[in-house]
Structure 1
Amino acid sequence: MQALADHLEQELRSLANQAKSWPFEEARRILTRIGHKAPEKGYVLFETGYGPSGLPHIGTFGEVMRTTMVKRAFEILSDIPTRLFCFSDDMDGLRKVPENVPNPELLRQHLNQPLTQVPDPFEQYESFGQHNNAMLRRFLDSFGFEYEFQSSSEWYKGGRFDDILKLILAHYDEVMAVMLPSLREERRQSYSPFLPICPTTGQVLQVPIISRDVEAATITYRDEHTGQLVEVPITGGHCKLQWKADWGMRWRAFDVDYEMSGKDLIDSVKLSSQICRIIGGRPPESFTYELFLDEQGQKISKSKGNGLTIDEWLTYAPDVSLAYYMFQSPRKAKRLYFDVIPRHMDEYLTYLGKFNEQELAQKLDNPIWHIHNGKPPQAESALSFSILLNLASVCNAEDPSILWGFVTRYQPEASPEKLPFLDKLIKHAIAYYHDRVLPDKKYRAPSDLEKVALADLKTRLQSLPAVAAAEEIQTVVYDVGKAHAFPELKAWFSCLYEVLLGQSDGPRMGSFIELYGINETISLIESKL
C-alpha cells in the first residue's frame, strides 16, 4: 500500500510540474528561488500583511486566499515544510477615526497612538488593535485558513526585532538615500525611517531625527512642544519603523520567501526590497495582483465605499464563488460588483461538474482543485444559479419551498436535507432576486412580430410531452426563432427575456422551461399575449 501511495504522489508531483495554472507557476518560482532545497530556517515562509486600523475586507480575503493557493501548490511540488504568517501592523498610529465604529469621540482623544494602546470603542477588548486583530482571526478562521497570526506590537515590544532595528540604524544613511528621492520636498524635511513613541503622550511621532548613536542604539529628536531634545532607544518597542522600512525589515527578520501585493504597491515593493538588501536580507518572491474596479470601472476605495463588501457577496452566494472569483486572472483588473456574482457562481458550478470526469493533469489546472485543495465536494445538481435566480424571478418567490416544489419535479429524490448546498443556492437566489433584480424589473409588451413568434412557441410547446428534456425544448425554441423574421437569433432571445422575465438577459431557455414546466411556460406566454 505504501509503495502505491508513493507512486501516486510521484505521479501527482510530476504532473504538477507541468501544470499551467498560476498557483503552480508561482510555486515553481519559489522552488527555483530556494534551489529545490530547504532554506536554512528549515521551511518556506509565506506572508500576508494587514493594517488593523479598520475591519477586515474583501481584499484581505483575496490576498490570504491566493497566497494559500500558492502554498498548497508548493506543498504538492515539494516536501519542504511551509508556514504562513498573517502579520498585523497593530503598532501603527491611529491616523484617523473610522466612520463605522461606535464612540468616535473616544478614538479622537487617542489619535496617533499605537492601535494596541487605543481603547476599544466596542468595549470588548483591551485595545482597538486587539479588537480588530480578533476580528481578523475570526474572519480568517471562518474560511478555514491555516496561518500563524503575528502582532507587530508583540514583536517590537518583545525585543524580537531589536537586532534588525540596530542594522537599520547602522545603515541609516543608505536607507535614507533610498527613501528621500521617493518623497515630496516637504516630506523629505521631516522624514526618518524611525518613528519614536513619545514618552509623555504615547503617540507615534513623525519627526526629524537630530542625532543617532549606533553603539547605544538610540536616536534623538526635538520635542515640538517643549523644544527640548529627547533621546529614546530604538529597541524594546520605544520606536517603530515607517511602513516601507518596516516591510523591508520584516522580510529580513522573518526571511520571507513569498508575498503578494496590489498593483498600487509596486513602487513600495521596490523600495522595501532595496532596504531589505541594504541590511543583508533577500527580498521575497513577489506577486503583483491587479486592483478591483467598481460598477463604473473606477478603482475601489475603502474611503469612498464604492466597492462590494465580503458580507454583501456572501449574502448572495456561497464563499466558494468568492474563492473562484479570486482565483480567476489575478493579474487582470476585474469589476467587483453585484452583477458579477451570478456568473462566477455558475462558472464555479460548471468547473465542479467537470472535475470528476477529468484526467488528473486536467484537474490540477481546474480552479476547483485550488479552491478545495484537490478534495472538492460532489456536485449535487445540474441546476445553475442563474436558472434558480430566474425561477425565483418568474415565481416572485418569497419562500424557498416554492422553488423546491419545482426542483423536486425536476429531481424527484431531491430535498433540502439531501442536497444542502442546493438549498443554500436557492436561498441565495431568492435574496439576490429580491434585492438586486426586483427593483429594476421592467417587462415590455411584445411587438407584432414577437406576438406571432410567441404564439408559435406556445403551439409547439403544447405538442411536446410534459416530461420533454431540456435539449428537446431548446431545439424547439431555436426553431421558432429561425422560422420568423428576426434580424438575428439574439433578438428572439432578448424578446423571451424582456417580455417573459422582465430583464435584459436570462438563462438557457430549454433548461429553464424544463425546470419551470411546459404547462407553466405556456400559461406565462398566454399572460403576455
Structure 2
Amino acid sequence: MSDTVRNTLADIPKGADIPKGWPFEEARKVALRLAASGKPTALFETGYGPSGLPHIGTFGEVARTTWVRNAFSEISGLPSRLLAFSDDMDGLRKVPDNIPNRDRLTPYLGQPLTRIPDPFGTHDSFGAHNNARLRAFLDSFGFEYEFASSSEYYKTGRFDAALIRVLECYDAVMAATLPTLRAERQATYSPILPIHPHTGIVMQVPMQHVDPAAGSVTWQDPASGERFETSVKAGACKLQWKADWAMRWFALSVDYEMSGKDLADSVKLSGRICRILGGQPPQGMTYELFLDQHGQKISKSKGNGLSVEDWLTYAPNESLAQFMYNQPQRAKRLYFDVIPRAVDEYVANTTALLHDARSEDARSEDAGSETAPPAAAAQASDRRTNPAWHIHAGRSPDHAGSPISFGMLLNLASVVNADSPDILWGFIRRYVPGASPETQPFLHRLVSHAIAYYRDFVRPAKHYRDPDPMERAALEDLATTLATLPDTAAETIQNAVFAVGKRHPFPDLRSWFACLYQVLLGQSEGPRFGGFVALYGIAETIALIHAALARRADAA
C-alpha cells in the first residue's frame, strides 16, 4: 500500500465525511484495519455449510457483506475480494430429508461431503452438487465473488503452514476451548480431526501425541483399538469447525466476516484462537435472526420459515434485498405479510434514487454553465444514503421503477378479482397514458407478482363487513362528492375523501378509512385511497360504493 493511500485511510475520522448507513459504518472498520496493517487489498468472506441447499439466510449474508464491500471501495478507493467459502470437508452428520435415494447415503455418515456420492447423480460428490447449487444461486442474483472449497484448500496444501501452526499452539488452543465444552465432550475433544485411513470418517477423538516438527498427530480408533499417526497436511486431517474458522482467518488474513447472533459465542472463541495462532480476527457484524409471524425463531424442522423461492414467487428479488438491508441488527419477522411493504419500500427508494440521479445530472450541467451559481454542485443530496444505491451496487437501476405502488396493485387486483395481467393493464393504461409491459418493465413484473400474491393470500382472506347507519350516510356522501369532482387527480380525490370523513361523526379519520377498506375492499388495511380511486376510476368507485350499499340492502 502506498503512503498516500495509507494516510488517506488513517485520516478517516469517526463519522466525518462518511455517508450515513450501516454498510458505511462497517466499511469504515475495514478501512481503518487496512490502514493499520498496510494490506493493499481487503478480503471479505462468507461461509456456507453444503450439507443443505442455499437458503434465504445465505442470500442475506452474501448481500449484506457485498454492501459493506462496495461501501469500503467507495470510501477507500482500494480493491477488495469476496470469498464465498464452502465447508465441504465437514462430515455428514445426518442424511437430509429432501434428497432422493436417502438410503444410499447412510453408509457414508461421518465422511467428508466431497467424498460422498451425489444422490442426484449430477456431480462427483454430494458436496460438489451443493456447491454447484450455491454458485448458481449466487450467480442468479448477480453477486461478484470467488468460490472457495474447504476440501480443495486442505488437499492442495494451502492450509498446511497454518495447520502446523495449530500443532505448535495446540496446548493453548485446547486451554481456550475446553472451558466452553460440556464435561463429556471435553473427554474426547481435539481441534484436530483426522480422516480415518480405512473408513474415511472424520474422527472426533483425543490426540495421544502432537508432533509439530513432523507435522503429524497420533490417535487411537476407539472401535478397533488400532493406533494411527496421521499427517495434518494435504487433506489427511481437518479442524473442528470453531478452530477451522479461526485457522482460516489466520491463513487467509480475512478482514471482514459477519455472522448471526446464534454464533456470537463461537465468534469470540474463534477470535481468541486466531490470536493464539498469531493472527488478527476480522472485523464483523452480528446480525439478528429471523422470526416467524408469531415471533418464534425460524426452524427448518418446524417448517415455519420463508424460502427464497417463496419470496420470488410473490415479489421481485430487489424487494428481498430491501428487506435484508433494513436494520440487520434487529430481529425481524419473516413471513408472507412482510412482502408487500418490502416491495413498496424498494419502489419508493428507487424513485428517490432515480430522482436524485436526474437532479445531480442537471446540477452538473448547471455547474458547467457561465450563469450557474458557485454552490450548484454542492447542493446535491447524497444518494449513497439510499438503500437502493447499495442494492444496485452504486449504479442506477436498469429499470425506471414503478409509477404505481405494489399495495395499489394488490388492491386493484382485489377489487376487480384479477386473474390475468391484462385485466390490470386496462386500468393502468388509463392511469399512466402510454404505459405498457414494454415501456414499464419493472411495473410489468410487479403486476404478475401482485396477481400471484392476491390469488394466494388476499382473496382467501377477504371479508366484507356491512356499514352501520352513520357509515352508510358517509359512503352515500362520498359517492355524491366523487361524482362532482372537477378532475381525477389523486390529490384532489384524496382531499375530497378527507372532507367527507370530517363531515361525519367518526372518532377520527383513521376510523373513516378503516370503513372504506373493510366495507369496499374486504380487508383491514389499504392504500392511499385517493390514489386508488384515480387508478380504478371515479365512475368505477362510485359503482363499487353503490354495490356495497346494495349488498347490505339485499341482506336486509
Whether TM-score is above 0.5 comes out as yes
Q: Is the 8 A contact 2:494 2:529 kept in 1?
A: yes
Match of 2:494 among 470, 474, 482: 474
Match of 2:45 among 27, 44, 47: 47
Match of 2:286 among 285, 288, 294: 288
2:417 alignment partner in structure 1: 396
Deviation of the 1:362 alpha carbon: 2.6
Q: Is the 8 A contact 2:400 2:440 kept in 1?
A: no
1:158 alignment partner in structure 2: 156
| Counterpart residue identity of residue 489, structure 2 | A
Count matched residues: 514
Please show how residues 358-369 of structure 1 align to structure 2 within 5 Å: 358=356, 360-369=380-389
Alpha-carbon distance in structure 1 between the residues aligned to 2:494 and 2:144: 46
Q: Is residue 417 of structure 1 aligned with residue 438 of structure 2?
A: yes
Deviations 1:230-275, CA, capped at 9 Å, x for gaps: 2211111111000000000000010000110011111111100111
Q: Is the 8 A contact 1:38 1:80 kept in 2?
A: no
Deviation of the 1:432 alpha carbon: 0.5
1:443 alignment partner in structure 2: 464
Q: Is the 8 A contact 2:18 2:75 kept in 1?
A: no
Q: Is the 8 A contact 1:261 1:286 kept in 2?
A: yes
SS of alignment partner, residue 18 of structure 1: coil
SS of alignment partner, residue 207 of structure 2: coil
Deviation of the 1:523 alpha carbon: 0.8
Q: Is the 8 A contact 2:46 2:62 kept in 1?
A: yes
Q: Is residue 483 of structure 1 aligned with residue 503 of structure 2?
A: yes
Deviation of the 1:430 alpha carbon: 0.4
Deviation of the 1:361 alpha carbon: 4.2
Please show how residues 74-473 of structure 1 align to structure 2 within 5 Å: 74-358=72-356, 360-377=380-397, 378-465=399-486, 467-473=487-493
Structure 1 runs, 4 residues or longer, greater than 6 Å off? 13-16
Deviations 1:3-24, CA, capped at 9 Å, x for gaps: xxxxxxxxxx999933111111
Q: 1:173 to 1:361 in 2, by over 3 A?
A: farther
Q: Is the 8 A contact 1:16 1:364 kept in 2?
A: no
Deviations 1:465-499, CA, capped at 9 Å, x for gaps: 4x510011111111111111111111111111111
SS of alignment partner, residue 446 of structure 1: coil
Deviation of the 1:33 alpha carbon: 1.3
Farther off after superposition, 222-231 or 415-424 = 222-231
Q: Is the 8 A contact 1:115 1:128 kept in 2?
A: yes
SS of alignment partner, residue 299 of structure 2: coil
1:494 alignment partner in structure 2: 514
Q: Is residue 18 of structure 1 aligned with residue 21 of structure 2?
A: no
Alpha-carbon distance in structure 2 between the residues aligned to 1:75 and 1:46: 12
Alpha-carbon distance in structure 1 between the residues aligned to 2:426 and 2:53: 41
Match of 1:524 among 529, 532, 544: 544
SS of alignment partner, residue 311 of structure 1: helix
Deviation of the 1:379 alpha carbon: 3.2
1:32 alignment partner in structure 2: 32
The root-mean-square deviation of aligned C-alpha atoms, in Å, is 1.6
Deviation of the 1:38 alpha carbon: 4.3
Alpha-carbon distance in structure 2 between the residues aligned to 1:518 and 1:379: 28
Q: Structure 1 length as normaliser, TM-score?
A: 0.95
Identity %: 60
Gaps of 5+ in 2: 1-11, 357-378, 550-556
Q: Is the 8 A contact 2:350 2:401 kept in 1?
A: no
| Counterpart residue identity of residue 153, structure 1 | S
| Counterpart residue identity of residue 463, structure 1 | T
Deviation of the 1:121 alpha carbon: 1.0
Alpha-carbon distance in structure 2 between the residues aligned to 1:431 and 1:161: 49
SS of alignment partner, residue 187 of structure 2: helix
Q: Is the 8 A contact 2:347 2:402 kept in 1?
A: no
Farther off after superposition, 376-385 or 112-121 = 376-385
Gaps of 5+ in 1: 1-12
